[in-house]
Every structure is written in structure tokens, then in C-alpha cells.
């Protein structure tokens, strides 16, 4: 592209350069730097417990040393299966310090999903919650796992919460797990008690060495590991820092609701906070009333989130009882942000809420509206520094003119190295000169603002979670009474989309919706389970027998339009 073809640059304020200088250093060095600059400053707040940057760094060194003693070598993969808690931050940086590659794993995964990811990544170790230990132990023999590190929420709760929590946990999850220290099971408390913290620093080439395998779906429908280097993650975090140019280092308080096992929360909350020396308010799960209370008490200034989060807060019956005026800036991602939600949230908080865009393959952010500057409602904004974007005409490499809908393609230093052990799928989306095909359909206007209008892929985004129909269909097809199954996303006013299953029963079957629902809940994460089931005698197909998924989607849209007109 020539500079004339980058019309978005004219919107950049003086504080945001079109191109930036980047540090060529490992990501974990930023924790060491913040521990030096802000050692006694609070880094984490978790349910009443606070840790300073010095404490986080010291504990990360202890865990890094222990992992190396267990045999962790440079390039080995280590899974983290944790919600937002102090251990998720400490473990992440400890793995990088020890030379390992982080494999972020959703704590909601069922055993089959966990086993698939561990097999595909070849992870040697996993760090998980105590209530998830049985899952890890059950799949261990079918994977490359050699060691399981176990921790619990109570490990970082202040007294007397740490004494009460096990009883709450037993009542809430109907399970009380008490793993013991052994040759292949390691307790977090034991590590901090026994490790001397003298880990061996590992030489890292930021542009070549991987920091992360972040799993996402693909053309086959099966999750695949996105290879992100230290440099990919560092540059996207530095871009985030520059985009939020009014935020002050060492002074901001960040609400950490977005899960760190998702690349958006990992970059825009965890890595950015560590880089800037900011305090994170860790919340392991989203409960609207708890969030409102925390905002009023802890006074966060930054609140990265997703539309469903903002919608839930705005619709809470006691919203007016809480003071949310501390919030200064929010960048919304993972799903389209309704204009009315944006306007009302800004009215309630007095801060700025803008929509951004990104993908797992881009570390993740490529576009955003300006927080303090011109923005266009309904737009995903403009490309970030050093990030180019185009619209390609369908199934071609020909650039589309302003206003024409095509596929959004991006290029920049935050774009992945490729998919783990999948060179063919990498070649399908990533050109030799670095252009990444996003699979999202959209257009660019003459001002350089981009708009997403549809998804090329069949991925469903429900409540901020990516759901790949093929994964759900595979589970349904394994049921003995299901002949055919197809999954589609249908509009949902709260979740954005919801999962609907169209089912053709086997002859003579009398299986019910409730029975299928129970079966699905046993075999996949709750957010993937279909919310609606429709039984049909047959499904629409092409001449060669391929199910016409799009036809079903069109039928659902037509039903919605008819119901709205009535």
C-alpha cells in the first residue's frame, strides 16, 4: 500500500505515530522491569488479597525454578487451566522465564476437549485448579503429560476466607478434591515453600521463539494452535499502550474480568498491566452485582470488556445504587458493540467506550476506534500503528474499492507465525508476504474506517465465546440415535448469537430434547451446548449430499424478521 491508500493515518492524534519503535526483548522481562520500578506497588487484588509487583516476580521465579527442576526445557509446552487468579499471572510469566511455551486452556473444557488440546500441543505439564485435577488426571495417560501442578482459589484468600472457601466450594461444585504431593502431582503451596527461586535464565530470540500456543478453530472445525512469538505479543501490547496514550504508567487500576485464557484478556489486561505497572482487579467469573460492587469499592479506571458484559451491567436492577464514575476508558471486543449500549454506558460512567477488532491470529488487536478522538458508530475503527488492512474481493487477491464488501485482510508485526503443525492450513490464510486473511466480511469507507458485515466462516460467537459448529456436530454424531446433525448460530439479544441444533433422528428413535441436552452437557463445555433443538425428517442438501448450513441460517433470519414485523 502507498501512504495515499492508508486514509486512516489522517485521524491519528499527535500522540499516536503511524509507525513505532519496538523492544526486541522477551515478554517476561517486563515483569522484571515492573518489579524493579514498582516493587512495592500493588500488582494484583484478588477477593481481598493483594500482591505487590515484587511479590509476583519473586513467586514467578520460584515456580520457574521448580518447573526447570522437573525437567522443563526450552520450547516445552505447559498448559495453564486457570480462571483469573494470582496463579494465572504468576504461572504465565514463570513458564516464559523457564523457557517454556504457554498453552492457554479454557477451565470449562470437558475431558475430551482437554485431551485433544493436550495431545495436539504435546504439553508436558499442566497447571490447574484443584477442582479440575480429576479431569487432568483422567486424561494424563492418553497424552504427553508428565506432571500436574495443582492450586486452589483458597491458596490466595486472606483469613478467614481461606478457611471458609473449601466449604463453599464443596456446596457449589459438589466436590472436594484433596490431591497430595507426589512424584508427578505438585501442590502450588509446596512449590512456594520449597523452591529457592534460582531458575536458570534461558536465551530467547523474541522474533523466532514462541511464547504462546493459543487455540482457535479452523477450516476443519477442530481447534488448532496459533503460534505467537514473544515479539508478536510485545508489539501488540506496546500498540495498546500507545493507543491508550492518556493512561499513566504505575497509576491505572484495571478491571480484569476478561479471562486471561482468552488472547484478548491476556494482552489488553494482563500483559498491558504488567508492562505499565498497573494494578489488576482479578475476577474469576462474571457476576454483574459483584462487578458493580467491585467497581464502586476498588475504583478501576480501565475496563476492557465485551458487549454482553456491558449489557448485563446496564440491565442490572440496582445499577443506579452504584458509583461507576472512576471508569475512564473501555475497549470492547469479541463481538459487535450496539450503539445504544455504547452511548448508555458512557452516560452512566462518564468514561469512553469504543469498539475494537482482532483475532487470535493477530495477538489479537488490529483495529479500534480512537478512545479520545474521532470515531464512527458501528465501525470497528481504524488499523493500529504499523498495521495495514485491505478488503479483498471474494476468492481473489484483488483489492476492492471503498465501500465494496469483501474479505478483510491484515498485515503487521502482531500477525502469527502460523498454525502449530498445520502448514497447509497456514498457507490457506497467510501469504508469503505476510497478509493474513481474516475470514470476516466487511468494507472500508473513504475515511479509512472498517466495518464488519458478516463472517465468511461459520463460527458462532455467543457471549464472547468462539464456537465452531463442527466440534458440536462431532459430539452429536457420536450419539447412537442421531442420524444427521447441523449446528448454526441464530441471533440472540443478549449473547449476540446462540447455538441451535437441527437433528434428524435414526429410524425408530424417540430421543427427546432433554436427553440430547443432558448428553451434550456431559461431553462439551457449557457455552458450546445447543440452547435450541429442532427435529426434522430431513435437512436441505446440495446435489452431492452436503448439508446447506447457510439455507438453515437464512430460514432462521426469515423467522426472526417475520416475528419482528408481527
Residues of the chain with pLDDT under 50: 1-3, 218-220, 544
Whole-prediction pTM value? 0.88
pLDDT for the residue 378: 86
In angstroms, the CA 371 to CA 331 distance is 8
Per DSSP, 154 falls in state G
Give yes or no for a contact between 540 and 552, defined as CB atoms under 8 angstroms apart.
Answer: yes
CATH top-level class of 231-457? alpha beta
Residues of the chain with CATH 3.40.50.12780: 231-457
| CATH 3.30.300.30 domain extents, the chain | 466-565
Helix or strand run (H / E) with residue 273: helix 272-276
Question: What is the dihedral sign for C-alpha 388, 391, 396, 401?
Answer: negative
Segments in 101-174 forming alpha helices (H): 111-121, 133-140, 161-173
Residues contacting 305, CB < 8 A, separation 6+: 255, 257, 258, 330, 332
Output the pLDDT for position 159: 85
- How far is residue 65 CA from its own chain's centroid? 28
pLDDT on residue 220: 45
The pLDDT, as a whole number, for residue 542 is: 60
Instruction: Note the residue count of the chain.
Output: 566
**Residue 278's closest CA among 47, 52, 21, 23?**
52
Which CATH architecture describes the domain 28-204?
3-Layer(aba) Sandwich (3.40)
Q: Is 331 helix (H, G, I), strand (E, B) or coil?
A: strand
Residues in Cβ contact with 273 at an 8 Å cutoff, skipping those fewer than 6 apart: 43, 252, 254, 256, 279, 280
The predicted pLDDT at position 167 comes to: 77
Task: Compute φ and ψ for 239, nearest 5 degrees.
Answer: -60, -45
Query: Which residues in the chain are classed under CATH 3.40.50.980?
Result: 28-204
Q: How far apart are CA 441 and CA 453, in angstroms?
A: 6
Sign of CA dihedral 105, 111, 113, 117: positive
* Homologous superfamily (CATH) for 466-565: ANL, C-terminal domain (3.30.300.30)
Amino acid at each position: 500500500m502507498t501512504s495515499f491508500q492508508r486514509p486512516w493515518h489522517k485521524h491519528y492524534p499527535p500522540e499516536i505515530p503511524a509507525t513505532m519503535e519496538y523492544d526486541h526483548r522477551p515478554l517476561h522481562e517486563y515483569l522484571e522491569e515492573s518489579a524493579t520500578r514498582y516493587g512495592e506497588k500493588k500488582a494484583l487484588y484478588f477477593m481481598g488479597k493483594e500482591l505487590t509487583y515484587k511479590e509476583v516476580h519473586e513467586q514467578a521465579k520460584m515456580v520457574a525454578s521448580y518447573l526447570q527442576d522437573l525437567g522443563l526445557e526450552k520450547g516445552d509446552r505447559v498448559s495453564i487451566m486457570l480462571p483469573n487468579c494470582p496463579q494465572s499471572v504468576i504461572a504465565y510469566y514463570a513458564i516464559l522465564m523457564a523457557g517454556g511455551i504457554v498453552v492457554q486452556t479454557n477451565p470449562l473444557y470437558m475431558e475430551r476437549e482437554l485431551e485433544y488440546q493436550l495431545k495436539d500441543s504435546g504439553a508436558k505439564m499442566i497447571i490447574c485448579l484443584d477442582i479440575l485435577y480429576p479431569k487432568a488426571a483422567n486424561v494424563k495417560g492418553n497424552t504427553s503429560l508428565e506432571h500436574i501442578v495443582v492450586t486452589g482459589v483458597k491458596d490466595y484468600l486472606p483469613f478467614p476466607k481461606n478457611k471458609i472457601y473449601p466449604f463453599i466450594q464443596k456446596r457449589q461444585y459438589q466436590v472436594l478434591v484433596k490431591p497430595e504431593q507426589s512424584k508427578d502431582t505438585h501442590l502450588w503451596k509446596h512449590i512456594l515453600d520449597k523452591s529457592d527461586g534460582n531458575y536458570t535464565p534461558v536465551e530467547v530470540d523474541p522474533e523466532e521463539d514462541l511464547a504462546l500456543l493459543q487455540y482457535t478453530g479452523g477450516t476443519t472445525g477442530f481447534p488448532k494452535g496459533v503460534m505467537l512469538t514473544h515479539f508478536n505479543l510485545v508489539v501488540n501490547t506496546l500498540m495498546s499502550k500507545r493507543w491508550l496514550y492518556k493512561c499513566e504508567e504505575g497509576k491505572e487500576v484495571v478491571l480484569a474480568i476478561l479471562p486471561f485464557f482468552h488472547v484478548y484478556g491476556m494482552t489488553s489486561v494482563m500483559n498491558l498491566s504488567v508492562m505499565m505497572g498497573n494494578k489488576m482487579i482479578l475476577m474469576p467469573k462474571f457476576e454483574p452485582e459483584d462487578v458493580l460492587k467491585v467497581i464502586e469499592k476498588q475504583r478501576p479506571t480501565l475496563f476492557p470488556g465485551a458487549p454482553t458484559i456491558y449489557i448485563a451491567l446496564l440491565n442490572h436492577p440496582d445499577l443506579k445504587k452504584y458509583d461507576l464514575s472512576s471508569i475512564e476508558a473501555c475497549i470492547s471486543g469479541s463481538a459487535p458493540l450496539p450503539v445504544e449500549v455504547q452511548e448508555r454506558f458512557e452516560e452512566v460512567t462518564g468514561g469512553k467506550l469504543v469498539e475494537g477488532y482482532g483475532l487470535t491470529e493477530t495477538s489479537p488487536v488490529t483495529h479500534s476506534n480512537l478512545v479520545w478522538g474521532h470515531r464512527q458508530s458501528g465501525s470497528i475503527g481504524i488499523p493500529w500503528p504499523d498495521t495495514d488492512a485491505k478488503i479483498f474481493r471474494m476468492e481473489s487477491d484483488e483489492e476492492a474499492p471503498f465501500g465494496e464488501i469483501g474479505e478483510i485482510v491484515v498485515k503487521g508485526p502482531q500477525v502469527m507465525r502460523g498454525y502449530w503443525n498445520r502448514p497447509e492450513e497456514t498457507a490457506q490464510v497467510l501469504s508469503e508476504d505476510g497478509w493474513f486473511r481474516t475470514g470476516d466480511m466487511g468494507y472500508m469507507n473513504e475515511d479509512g474506517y472498517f466495518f464488519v458485515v458478516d463472517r465468511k466462516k461459520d463460527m458462532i460467537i455467543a457471549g464472547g465465546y468462539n464456537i465452531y459448529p463442527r466440534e458440536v456436530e462431532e459430539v452429536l454424531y457420536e450419539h447412537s440415535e442421531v442420524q444427521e446433525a447441523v449446528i448454526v448460530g441464530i441471533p440472540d439479544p443478549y449473547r449476540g448469537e446462540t447455538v441451535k441444533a437441527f437433528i434428524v433422528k435414526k429410524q425408530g428413535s424417540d430421543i427427546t430434547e432433554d436427553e440430547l441436552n443432558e448428553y451434550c452437557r456431559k461431553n462439551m463445555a457449557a457455552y458450546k451446548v445447543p440452547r435450541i433443538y429442532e427435529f426434522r425428517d430431513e435437512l436441505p442438501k446440495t446435489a452431492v449430499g452436503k448439508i446447506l448450513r447457510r439455507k438453515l441460517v437464512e430460514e432462521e433470519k426469515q423467522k426472526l424478521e417475520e416475528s419482528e414485523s408481527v
